[in-house]
Amino acid sequence: MNREYASRRIASLLLALALLLAALSGGASAAGTVVTGTDLQGWIITAFNGTTSSFYDFTTPPAAPPEGTGALLMGSGPGTGPNLGGKIYVSRPDFAGQKLSAITQFSYSAYMLPANAMPWTIYANIFVDLDGNLSTTNDIAVLSFSPGDCPVNATVTRGVWETWDVVNTPGVWARYGSGAIAGWPGQCHAGTTLGTIASLLNASHPNHVIVNANPTSGEYGLDLVIGQKAGGTWQNITGYLDNVRINGTTYDFEAGGPGGGVSCRNDGRENSLCWEPWATAAVYCQAGWIDVYRIHEDGRGTLAFQTTADEIAAAGLPDFFTLLGQDEPGNIRLYRLNTGEFQLNAPLQDDPNGYAFIWPGCGF
């Protein structure tokens, strides 16, 4: 084998290896059904108190998701009190009329922000008619899979992606609603736990039929939910959803298209809380200048510095990124890039450049 042939052979093998690694890293996403704000793929998203508290958006999460590069941001918002809390429902209505035993696979991945005050995570609800006779009343119950919110065998870790198997995870189920079901406990806070949903699909429960219980409120047959209508300990809980798997179909939530809820869409920030809930600095476009605020751990903001339109004009379109302004310690910095865009940098989790935000500018 001559040296030239050997070199070409090695290059060919390296290329094949690179293609294989790319396929392994991206194959799951390619096989998934991509869900965006402009193509929901049969999902219905409902924001309870979306004008005052809850919000959602199709965006890029702070840590790489299990499918693709994007995820669905879900937040309960600040509302609390009777029917004042925020709640987001991500629902599949197309299982209505099928027996509970039709659900052979149901899992999802969630990333909960480290700043959340409580160790809650996105939970799953399945609404069922107990006797399967849809003409009867007062026999609708919700079977709730809620890791971390029940006294169970599940621990939620904030700041990492976790995958939850709704069908096969034991000890995290509870029943709410009217009608007694043998083998199903009452509210999870009563202290009872039960096995997997698969273990309860036996002769004692042959007639449970999935129903769209209250579509006007977002309660369909299968729901993935964050928040509660009373707020309480679910106040200001934010997380990301991705990699939902139901009966052989993988749903890959990706950035793009409109979100919903307005609780933080009108906050005036360029890096709106809806899109950048982990931000440690905020930027506001004003009439002739830019305000940059430091965001403290308790959520308060204090003015860090200002950059005027004249200072921006003086910098022009630089050949390299150029510093426009910074706070006194130099921790929070604003740059003009050679693309014409602006970049904000601030510390995040002990990294002095851990937070970065790029946007087109303020129009001057």
Distance, CA of 266 to CA of 160 (rounded, Å): 29
Considering the domain delimited by 32-253, tell me its CATH architecture: Sandwich (2.60)
Strands in 254-300 per DSSP E: 281-285, 289-295
> What pLDDT does 46 receive?
92
H or E segment and range at residue 154? none
Partners of 325 in the β-ladder:
334
Query: What's the one-letter identity of residue 108?
Result: Y
Please count the residues of the chain. 364
| Positions of the chain with pLDDT under 70 | 1-31, 137, 149-154, 170-206, 261-267, 273-275
Query: What's the one-letter identity of residue 283?
Result: V
Taken in order 154, 95, 109, 115, is the CA torsion positive or negative?
negative
And the tokens for 158?
């904030």
Distance, CA of 335 to CA of 358 (rounded, Å): 9
Partners of 334 in the β-ladder:
325, 344
Residue 272: what are its φ and ψ, rounded to 5°? -55, 145
> What pLDDT does 66 receive?
96
Number of C-beta neighbours around residue 303 at 10 A: 11
Give the Å distances, CA to CA, from 99 to 146, 173, 213: 21, 18, 14
Partners of 224 in the β-ladder:
90, 124
Partners of 295 in the β-ladder:
301
Residue 256: what are its φ and ψ, rounded to 5°? 135, 140
318-362 pLDDT tens trace: 999 999 999 999 999 999 999 999 999 999 888 898 899 998 888
> What pLDDT does 284 receive?
92
